[in-house]
Structure 1
Amino acid sequence: MGANPYIHIPKESFPNWIWYTIECVIVIALGMLISREITDSIEGLAPDTQNYIFMGIVGLIFLIWYIGIRGIILKKKILKNSY
């Protein structure tokens, strides 16, 4: 019994870059939520200083995720399943 050639297999037809886009949007959204809570807890800031701190924290979270966690920790050989 052969396979149907007209069957839809999402892994083969779904573009791989969309997963990276979804991950990037999630990281930025979480960074903004965390940054909002941190900057709201700091009292006595001018609005322009608050904006710089807000975007600095968002950028720091983004860099920590992509360079630190995803780039170094998730690329370890021990995490790969190579049989």
Structure 2
Amino acid sequence: MQPALEATSGVISAAGITLAATFAALTVMTTLLYLARIGRIVAVGVPVDTLFVRLFLVPALILDLGLPHLVAHPTVRRP
């Protein structure tokens, strides 16, 4: 679990922050109220999903629920 998180956490975090910044720009650049609201909601929700759910909650649930098919087998060799 830890090697998978180390390999993907930087990319996932960067993508989430970039997406949140894009939607935050939408809130500033638009004059339509409903687009600004959607942009604000997504700009707040994406970092929460990226930084909390995907990095902490999903691995914890996988280990807590005992789903061994989602965790790499210890004998699998990586290149």
TM-score interval (norm. to shorter): 0.3 to 0.5
Higher helix share: 2
**TM-score normalized by structure 1?**
0.38
Larger radius of gyration: 1
